[in-house]
Amino acid sequence: MCAALCSLASVANDWTNDITVAAGPFSAPNFGFVFYANSIIGATNAAGKVSLENFSYVGSYSFNYHKQLKSFLALGVKATYEQNACDVFSTDTRPSVLAVMGSAHEFVGHSNIHLLTAMASLQFTYVHTRIVKLYSGVDLGIGFGIWQRSQVWDKTIPAAAQELDPELKKVADFRDKYNNGTSLYALPAFDITPIGIKVGTRVYGLAEINIGYDALFKLGVGVRFD
């Protein structure tokens, strides 16, 4: 029995490659954006007040590969994908804007955002038994956003009205800048894993808490191999 257990432990220690796939509802930045979206937009939108409503998500997904360099240190890569969508409404109550928009709650378009990241990843193990592994991690890389806009409000704002009212010109310029279409952008991407746990041997389950561009709470499965 002892010999068998020692043999299993030796095999477990020899598994230096680690692949995981996992999913969660949303990342911390996405949650923060949705929570504060209306106040953020209201404070920064030169075209007047808008409201973001009817949010929907497909979740946050990740793929990790790590190679165990030491018993306490693994180096690898992480890729994540996340998406959210919402409807945009104008809530501008200025008389000149209302005259063009038609109401104080006018649908002006649909927004759909996809976010992909690729990051270098370090994992630090502080409890490692044959069955249970407790760890933390830090990831740093680059993210790519795809912003799709559709059904954008296209009512005509007469040029004469824009000349008389600078606020209407701001609305028109904003509408023309963000009309139907797709924008691509890049941004720094990071993630911190304060705590994660893996339970199992060659095939295992995992749970993590993340702060960054990975699911705030996520569950997944993984496999180890030589």
Under 8 Å between Cβ of 18 and 76: yes
Give the count of domains, the chain. 1
Handedness of CA 62, 200, 211, 76 (dihedral sign): negative
3-state secondary structure 103-116: CCCEEEEEEEEEEE
Looking at per-residue pLDDT, the higher value among 70 and 1 belongs to 70
* Beta-sheet pairing, 17-24 with 50-70: antiparallel
* CATH classification at residue 94: 2.40.160.20
Question: Domain limits at 20?
Answer: 2-225
Q: What is the dihedral of CA 155, 159, 160, 162, to 10 degrees?
A: 80
Tens digits of per-residue pLDDT, 82-104? 998 999 888 878 787 777 777 88
For the chain, percent of residues with pLDDT exceeding 70: 89
List all residues 6 or more positions away from 197 whose beta carbon is below 8 Å from its beta carbon.
132, 133, 134, 135, 206, 207, 208
- Looking at 31-35, 67-71, 123-127, which range is the least confident one? 31-35
Q: Taking the CB of residue 198, how many other CB atoms lie within 10 A of it? A: 23
* Beta strands 181-200 and 132-150, pairing class: antiparallel
CA-nearest of 87, 88, 107, 100 to 155 is 100
- CA 101, CA 96: separation in Å to the nearest integer? 9
The predicted model gives 112-121 an average pLDDT of 95
Average pLDDT score over residue span 16-26:
95
Phi, psi of 34 (to 5 degrees): -65, -40
- SS3 of residue 61 by DSSP: strand
Nearest Cα residue to 30 out of 172, 214, 177, 225: 214
pTM over 0.85: no
Amino acid at 160: A
Task: Kindly report, residue by residue over 143-173, the tens digit of the pLDDT.
Answer: 999 999 898 887 777 787 777 777 777 777 7
Decide if pLDDT at 64 tops 50: yes
In the predicted structure, residue 41 carries a pLDDT above the cut 90: no
